[in-house]
Structure 1
Amino acid sequence: MNSLIRNLQENLPARQVITDDLRRLAYGTDASFYRLIPQVVAVIENEDEARAVLAAARQNQTPVTFRAAGTSLSGQALSDGVLALIGEGFATFELADDASQVRVGPGMVGGEVNRRLAPLGKKIGPDPASIGACKIGGIAANNASGMCCGTSQNSYKTLAGLRVMFADGTLLDSEDPASVAAFKQSHAALLGELDRIGKETRANPTLANRIRHKFKIKNTTGYSLNALVDFEDPIDILAHLMIGSEGTLGFMTRITYQTVVEDPCKASALVFFPDIRSACEAVVRLKPQPVAAVELLDRPAIHSVENKPGLPTIMRELGEEAAALLIEVRSPTPEGLQEKITTVVAAMDGIATVEPVQFSTDPATCDMYWKVRKGTFPAVGAMRRTGTTVLIEDVAFPIESLADATLDLQALLRHHGYHEGIIFGHALEGNLHFVITQDFGDKAEIDRYARFMDDLCKLVVDKYDGSLKAEHGTGRNMAPFVEMEWGKEATDLMRRIKALFDPEGRLNPGVIINDNPHAHLENLKPMPAAEDVVDRCIECGFCEPLCPSHRLTLSPRQRITSVRELARRAAAGEHAESLSEAYAYMGLDTCAACGMCSTACPVGIDTGDLTRRLRGRQLGDTARSLYQWSGENFGTFAGLGRTGLTIGHAVSGVLGDKFVSRVTGGAWRKAMPPAAKAPVQRSSKGDPVVYFPTCGGRIFGPADANDKQLGDVVQEVLIRAGYAPILPEGFTQLCCGQTLASKGMAEEAEDMSNALEAALMKASDNGRIPVIMDASACSTRMQKHLAGRIKLYDFHEFAHDALLPRLMITKQAGPVALHVNCSVKRTGADGKLRALLKACVDEIVEPSSTTCCGFGGDRGFAVPELNQHALRHIHNELPANCACGVSTNRTCEIGLTAETGRTYRSIAYLLEACSRKEDAMTC
């Protein structure tokens, strides 16, 4: 064990010092096209641990990088030394009484901050496209902006205060007078030098004016030198230099933002122009108008999404020189919104458009327009050749030069053979993004990229005096070109700043200031072909906040990174046993395969497909034979499951749950339900409906001893609503196959689905009669399998559509907790579930911290730590008076009950209780 790791282990809990090959690789990956593998990953949960990491790095002369979400695009979240991974202990949130300020930790996801501010009509200013995944630490460290925040609402402009730790471990809280006073005394030399640098800069008209000019448009190239001319107090200068410093000057442990207003009334217009010049002329006119956002798309960008369902047909009919602007206006009131629309339309009068300008206030239409804009980047990523990576670059031009610059940029892409390249961007700020695909596995291709980058920098800097990095941060990608953009005098000023704060060069070296002219061409990330179901992954990390195993073992991005490395090593004939062995547990066993990752993935990848495929390949003959037998004899298999439950309860009654849990490897859970009893066909008159009781409710009995069996409850409420339920013949022997599909046995699972389909076809009179299933995962599988041949409903969907209109509901007061399981979220049926619950209960609690419960079919029995990890935050969101919860999957309910101590049931129980003629039962 080397000294660095030993030092870290002496000061951090063992689980937070990560040294295995797999996680060093996987955790070290960010969204850029660079790769550095850290010597060690240290998860830090508080300032003391951050200080211990800095001390260990200093003692062992090792570089250290503080990393939040790793959605960075320019390579600034990497390290070949210590990667300090910001843990959940830094996910702090404190709101001022009047909501004018919010004090947040660097571990908070930006979208979560906005979710908490939304009820108050507020948000933070920065609005990067990655806000659903990126964290405050990265937003501030990169001075990220976005579509609406421009240059007036970014972190620099909305900073109210911060708490920062320096390379020597000292803390400064700019909002605490005592901390400021102590820092002035302990670091008088640093502040004195900073004061001198500021005075020298302000006294140099040429340099000061140059700095002011550079920040009139978006600019994240180099350090925030505007701090030297915008402020005179060294503490203010210091605080604003930290913004955009990418962890090279210190670690921001807390940031206080001035919040901004989130107007409730919005309207959008997607306007098409015959050419770029017309579109850019409109941008110049719109700049002084009351617009919230103006997004530019060139013709290739429009081409990339024009064939997606639901988009305007005019998009496919535009000429090859055409362009589009997506314009949004916002207002506190509908009247104010209409005034702004009128003003904006009038400002564009006389500019040639393909169609008249027309704004829409319909949320669905506006959402469709924004999907056009947001879909361009993933569209290129999805179409790229396997083995290549997708690059998104980020430049800015003076707005008056936007038309010429865009045309020049298009020509440059063509000249270097990037014919797939598209251009889009935040036009009001002259900020253009362009997307290309690049092969970094070929020397000739790397040389082509190098020539392109040289020409790009000359175009942006020499011809237009623009910004080489507008909002994505300098990183490693543009560090060699900082002096080219800023000139020697300003760049030397940046070197002085870096040396002042980090004299040993320990903090994130190679980022922002890098004297290696080829740094942008080194440490390139390999993107080998691995598995076709995930080869399109661009490793952006958008999936991570939704994954139940993220921070327990691996996230979807990290699984794909690992599989790619295994494929690379296999192709190169390199040793990979340690990675393979670790991946069996971290990659396969602890993947819930819930598919939630696909809902956030820009290219729609479900990493669960990869997991199921790999599980199937790794099954031994014995396991495969056993699973195959269970599929062919499912009735017997289910019976064995019920017998096991009965025996387990008998033993636990004598020796306790903990003993049974220990001997079953954790599979036995607290409040384990008893064995179920098979439902019996109820005779009744009414409209026929086929009801298939799924195996979860046939194996696991009700959560409470006083409850009826799930199958009986569903039939009861159907009959009460005037339906005559029909149970398929031999239903106790049938299963949809989901259980085998999760094991990677796709063919055997399909056989089970086919058998169920035959029974459902017979019971439904060849699809004439609707079918209901009582578990969302099973319903979703069969809806896809049947592909419209039978009208099949998840119970809550049928209840919402067909039962509520026929039932007399007596609402409960609540509160009742709601868990929307993954299948319901993926299919978009969550709206009906919430509406159904709202019809039954006055007060509903839906914990935002839980995206997937992590039970994953039977994963909660096989690896209970996954379920526990996924629900680790739910306890803080369930009020003490919330005694019960509802969901739509039996196994999810088992895990939720075990972890929360509240009884979770199918929503069918609540609907049945609330629709009784006598007083409704409360939970």
Structure 2
Amino acid sequence: MSRPSAEAYRELKAALAASLPAEQLIDDPLRTLAYGTDASFYRLVPRLVVRPESEAELRVILAECRARRLPVTFRAAGTSLSGQAVTDSVLIQLGHGWRGHELLDEGRAIRLQPGVIGARANQLLAPFGRKIGPDPASINSCMIGGIAANNASGMCCGTAQNSYRTVRDLRVILADGSLLDTADPESVAAFRGSHAELLAGLERLAAETQGNAELAERIRHKYRLKNTTGYALNSLVDFSDGIEILKHLMIGSEGTLGFISAITYQTVVDEPHKAAALAFFPDMATTCRATIALKRSPVSAVELMDRAALRSVEREAGMPEVLRTLPDGAAALLIDVRGHDDADLAARMDEVQGTLEGIRTLEPVTFTRDTDRYALYWKIRKGLFPAVGAVRDTGTTVIIEDVAFPIERLDEGVLALTETFHRHGYAEAILFGHALEGNLHFVFPQGFEKPGEVERYQALMDEVAQLVGVEYGGSLKAEHGTGRNMAPYVELEWGPEAYALMWEIKALFDPENQLNPEVILSRNPTLHLENLKPLPAAHEIVDKCIECGFCEHVCPSRDLTLTPRQRIVITREVARLEALGDSAGEADAVRLASLRGGLAYHVDATCAVDGLCETQCPVGINTGDLVRDMRRRRLSQRAGLARRIGRHFDGVTRLARGSLRAAGAVNKLMGDSLMSRAARGARRLSGERVPLWTPALPGAAPVRVLGELPDAGDDRPRVVYLPSCATRMFGADRRDAGESRSVMEITLALLDRAGFAVVIPERVDSLCCGMAFRSKGQFDEAEHKGRELNRELLAASENGRYPILCDTSPCTLQMQESLDACLALHEPVTFAHDHLLPRLTIRPLQERIAVHVTCSSTRMGLGEKMIALARACASEVVVPAEVTCCGFAGDKGFSVPELNASALAGLAEQVVDCSAGYSNSRTCEIGLSQHGGIPYRSILALLDRASR
């Protein structure tokens, strides 16, 4: 296909604008780069990104692209590693409308749209004790569309439970815009009539393949292994009916044959009782012999790790000491066993122990059922890939090769492959993988900037392909998909006859080669060496980012502007273009200006700096720290204003309360509807500078209650109570008929009922943890306020003698990170769960309530404790799915209200039957009340109600 003209893309956008909203058509330099980046080490920037919300819109897009002969690429989460989801043409990115699901047959099957995250599917199935078969390591981030399109497998999946083996039905849109739903007899009948030629062609290929004994046996051999190289030729030997062949060919086709708009999986049992052992062996040969023996035993997973892999994580926090003492050449197996009940699990562990008898180990093999140690073992395994990413040189990428050997030749293959990597100068490569399937991952850092590096990589790949694909009859891509990375080697692995068969399949489905060209099949022998992604030094906070995308699903701005990965991508590109200096051409200069123009809103203003990205990042990056530093540099001239606010903080909070009282008075006269219209108008006229008033804005807090406490000189246990500046400003939600008290009043009443004497710090109206300043980049004033608070809390708690309760979770996290370690700091959940519950008589409310786990609670690991506290106080607790940070972010709910609205899209539908919601941050509760349609209160209010 010849390279389309710029005019063709302009015509396409104009044509699509007639049927799609403008916000679904994206062609500016900043967002096309951001949205076009995936986890691979390739970069192509799309000319147009289109976000269809329905099958009808997608069919229109395909028709308009087909009319102009413009290639299209489908994109889900972009966690793919082999270059399947990048393009320099039209990128079709899944929008909000692709997250539907339907449970079938009491969980024995599930119908999923492609935008559902894999872990969300398992969350839906958990009440039935079932899960989907595929379990890729990226399941918390990757989407069903990518899982099916890549035939992703994982650690426990093997070859028996991947998408190919567990697909029941598909709903698919082909290149010509036709729609087939294999679960609908009418759709199938219509398709047989309209696409008789396609189905006849598939059935002919199946008959020819099944009649070719040598080819058929080669295909069967290849799929005894994990194999995602090329198309699923096993569909031609497993089935004879065209519909079944089509259905199974779509699995693993990487968007080159059609678009999967829904998939129905046969689910598998998720055995609840689990145990694991970390077994150490003296050498790789012994490790491989143990693996072969375990193939016949009742294990759910066996993960192999070589000595270099173990060495890469041995000094991480919490790792077992034994890792540091292992001899060179040693290797380990993580053996996972699961059962329906305790007896079943015990019997299986005994059988595994018997299997390993007579095989030399460096230590006795001991299974653990302790959840913390079990999690630690899997943390070791899952930390291997990022461990390399964290120590690589800036400017280099991380490459993960994904091969499979016949298991009976695993030990030979490992030795040969290791020698190959060392011979080409990749001595730092680490080896791990899903040993039961002979599936091995080699991970190594790779730079492409220095002379000779591309050639070195090419030489390595040529030899690996020959070794694995030809000499050992293995697969070059066991589970990560062919992509661009292995497209030049598909013929080498499969041979000319099978390769020609794949081209015939492509021609039947997509004769104009419109769908994701150059992926899986390519005539370009150097495709895997082209369009390599630059990873220039940009900022020490994010230079270790490997652009995996694991952070994206928890980011509150993910559906509004950018995700953490995308913010880093833009930061890197700006740094790269700036480094060109005087050598930059006109096009680069224009591009740099465009990117800089979008930084303020897309990178900065809409980032909640909540730090949730760090909880998911394999290399521990908090992109919020990057954005805060950008704010620091940009706002350094405003340090004087920040200092004045900080030094007169009591006056600022008084002014805020006065403003709330005034707004309440005006609202009482105007009513919500008129007030809302006036507020939106004022904000528009101000150029979005005036904060937005909403009906959820509470009244002023009655701070007088802090001065009405009884003398704390009695013999009751003391607690220092620090009301945050937010709770000192914002009172109760005036629309909440069930609770008219402020958080301060509720907290004081609860502490009194539990028998605590309360101490309020001196000068409390002037105190602030500093987070309000730090989040805006005013680090100096944040430190000043922190020191001031530290001094007052030391005095109030008698140098840490008494516990300190802060009623706002984000403030507590800030204090834990910045104040003296001797201070026993508690936020509402921990104090209520650990100190109040045991002292109160609880009568659970017979109500359905909602709980919002704030980002700070998640970062402090308090999610489960918060839910446990709620369940102790109410009969039914709802934790809305896929709602992470609310996006209110201090004051952004007023200054950037669209961030709060986007982050909480879909909340109201999930809490519609709840009497109220509960959280532990007053500002978050304002936004939650606004967008949830129910009042949100402090979690302390729930405990108060249940203990009256």
Which range, TM-score by smaller chain? over 0.9
Contact 2:169/2:183 (8 A) holds in 1: yes
Aligned counterpart in structure 2 of residue 619 of structure 1, from 620, 635, 641: 635
Which of 635, 639, 647 is matched with 2:650 structurally? 635
Contact 2:692 2:897 in 1 (8 A): yes
CA distance in 1, matches of 2:295, 2:869: 46
Instruction: Report the Cα offset of residue 769 of structure 1.
Output: 1.8
Pairwise mapping of residues 133-212 of structure 1 onto structure 2 (< 5 A)?
133-212=141-220
**CA distance in structure 1 between the aligned counterparts of 2:116 and 2:942, rounded to whole angstroms:** 35
Post-superposition offset of 1:759? 0.7
Following the alignment from structure 2 to structure 1, what is the Cα–Cα distance between the partners of residues 742 and 251?
A: 59
Task: Pick one of 702, 706, 713 that aligns with 1:680.
Answer: 706
Conserved 8 A contact 2:635-2:778: no
2:906 — aligned with what?
873
Residue 814 of structure 1, CA deviation: 1.6
The letter of the residue matching 1:654 is L
Equivalence for 1:806: 839
Q: Helix, strand or coil for the counterpart of 2:293?
A: helix
Query: Given the superposition, is the C-alpha separation of residues 702 and 826 from structure 1 closer, same or farther in structure 2, using an over 3 Å criterion?
Result: same
**CA deviation vs aligned residue, 1:553-600 (integer Å, no higher than 9, x gap):** 001111111111111111113421211111210111011111111111
Given the alignment, which residue of 748, 753, 761 partners 2:794?
A: 761
Deviations 1:8-45, CA, capped at 9 Å, x for gaps:
21221211111111110000000000011111000011
State the partner residue of 2:538.
530
Separation in 1, partners of 2:182, 2:742: 60
Aligned counterpart, 2:596: 580
- Consecutive unaligned residues of structure 1, counting only runs of 5 or more, are 917-923
Q: TM-score, normalised by structure 2?
A: 0.95
Letter paired with 2:873: C
Distance across 1 between alignment mates of 2:915 and 2:832: 23
Given residue 692 of structure 1, which amino acid in structure 2 is its aligned partner?
L
Q: Distance in 2 between matches of 1:50 and 1:443?
A: 44
Superimposed CA distance per residue, residues 512-549 of structure 1 (whole angstroms, 9 cap, x where no aligned partner)? 00111100000111001111111111111111111110
Aligned counterpart, 1:653: 668
User: 1:620: Cα distance to partner?
Assistant: 6.4
List per-residue Cα deviations over 1:795-840 (Å, max 9, x = no partner): 2211211121112222211212111101011111223322222222
Note the residue ranges of structure 2 that are not aligned, 5 or more in a row: 1-6, 582-587, 684-689
1:669 and 2:684 matched: no
- Do structure 1's residue 322 and structure 2's residue 348 form an aligned pair? no
2:787, 2:819 within 8 Å by CA — same for their partners in 1?
A: no
Partner of 1:387: 395
* Residue 722 of structure 2 corresponds to residue 692 of structure 1: yes
Q: 1:618 to 1:626 in 2, by over 3 A?
A: same
Report the Cα offset of residue 365 of structure 1.
1.4
Tell me if the contact between 1:796 and 1:833 (Cα under 8 Å) persists in the aligned partners.
yes
Question: Could you tell which deviates more after superposition, 627-636 or 732-741?
Answer: 627-636
Match of 1:824 among 857, 860, 865: 857
Amino acid at match of 1:230: D
Moved more, 729-738 or 801-810: 801-810
Q: Secondary structure at the match of 2:139?
A: coil
Q: Does 1:365 align with 2:373?
A: yes
Provide the residue aligned with 1:908 in structure 2.
940
**Counterpart amino acid of residue 890 in structure 2:** G
5 Å-filtered alignment, 1:361-760, equals: 361-573=369-581, 574-575=588-589, 576-619=592-635, 621=637, 623-655=638-670, 656-658=674-676, 659-664=678-683, 665=690, 667-678=692-703, 679-681=705-707, 682-683=709-710, 684=712, 685=714, 686-704=716-734, 707-760=740-793
C-alpha deviation, 1:666, in angstroms: 5.3
Match for 2:506: what amino acid? K
Compute the displacement of 1:172 (Å): 1.2
- 2: distance between equivalents of 1:795 and 1:186? 63
The residue type paired with residue 241 of structure 1 is L
Instruction: After superposing the two structures, state which structure 1 stretch, 117-126 or 661-670, moved more.
Output: 661-670
SS of corresponding position for 1:531: coil
Instruction: Give the distance between the partners of 1:416 and 1:240, measured in 2 at CA.
Output: 38
Cα deviation digits, residues 447-474 of structure 1 (max 9, x gap): 1111111111122123211100000000
What secondary structure does 1:813 align onto?
strand
The CA deviation at 1:756 is 0.5
What is the CA distance between 1:716 and its match in structure 2? 1.9
Aligned residue number for residue 920 of structure 1: none
Give secondary structure in 1 for the equivalent of 2:706: coil
Question: What is the rounded CA distance, in whole Å, between the counterparts of 1:601 and 1:787 in structure 2?
Answer: 28
Q: Quick check: 1:773–1:794 contact (8 Å CA) kept in 2? A: yes
SS of residue matched to 2:847: coil
CA distance in structure 1 between the partners assigned to 2:476 and 2:790 by the alignment: 58
Aligned partner of 2:120 in structure 1 is: 112
* Contact 1:651–1:660, Cα closer than 8 Å, also in 2: no
Q: Given the alignment of the two structures, is residue 896 of structure 1 paired with residue 928 of structure 2, yes or no?
A: yes
Q: What is the deviation of 1:653?
A: 2.5
For residues 627-665 of structure 1, the C-alpha deviation after alignment (integer angstroms, 9 at most, x for no partner) is 232112111111221122122222223334311343244
1:265 to 270, 273, 284: 273
Deviation string, structure 1 residues 658-711 (Cα, Å, up to 9, x no partner): 113432445212221011221423124311221111100011111247622322
Alpha-carbon distance between aligned partners in 2 of 1:666 and 1:904, rounded to the nearest angstrom: 21
Normalising to structure 1: TM-score of the pair? 0.97
SS at the partner of 1:365? helix
Q: Measure, in 2, the Cα distance between the counterparts of 1:772 and 1:889.
A: 13
Tell me the C-alpha RMSD between the 2 structures. 1.3
Between the aligned partners of 1:319 and 1:338, the Cα distance in structure 2 is 31
217, 228, 249: which one aligns with 2:257: 249
CA contact (8 A) 1:272 1:323 kept: yes
User: 1:361 Cα deviation (Å)?
Assistant: 1.6
SS in 1 for 2:881: coil
- Say which SS state the counterpart of residue 458 (structure 2) adopts: helix
Instruction: Give distance in 2, aligned partners of 1:569 and 1:632.
Output: 41
Secondary structure at 1:433 match in 2: strand
Alignment correspondent of 1:883: 915
- Alpha-carbon distance, 1:289 to partner: 1.3
> What is the DSSP-based 3-state SS (H/G/I as helix, E as strand, rest coil) of the residue aligned with 1:253?
strand
Matched-pair contact (CA < 8 Å) for 1:398–1:430? yes
Partner of 1:352: 360
CA contact (8 A) 2:106 2:128 kept: no
* Per-residue CA distance 1:352-390 (angstroms, 9 max, x = gap): 101111111222211111011001111111111111111
SS at match of 1:814: strand
Check whether the contact 1:283–1:428 (CA below 8 A) recurs between aligned residues: yes
Aligned position for 1:921: none
User: Which residue number in structure 2 is paired with residue 276 of structure 1?
Assistant: 284
| Equivalent-residue separation in structure 1 for 2:106 and 2:723 (angstroms) | 52
Correspondence for 1:62: 70
Cα separation, partners in 2 of 1:139 and 1:184, compared to 1, 3 Å? same
Per the TM alignment, residue 851 of structure 1 is displaced from its structure 2 partner at its CA by: 0.9
Distance 1:914 1:122 in 2: 34
Q: Does 1:297 align with 2:305?
A: yes
* Residue type of the alignment partner of 1:428: L
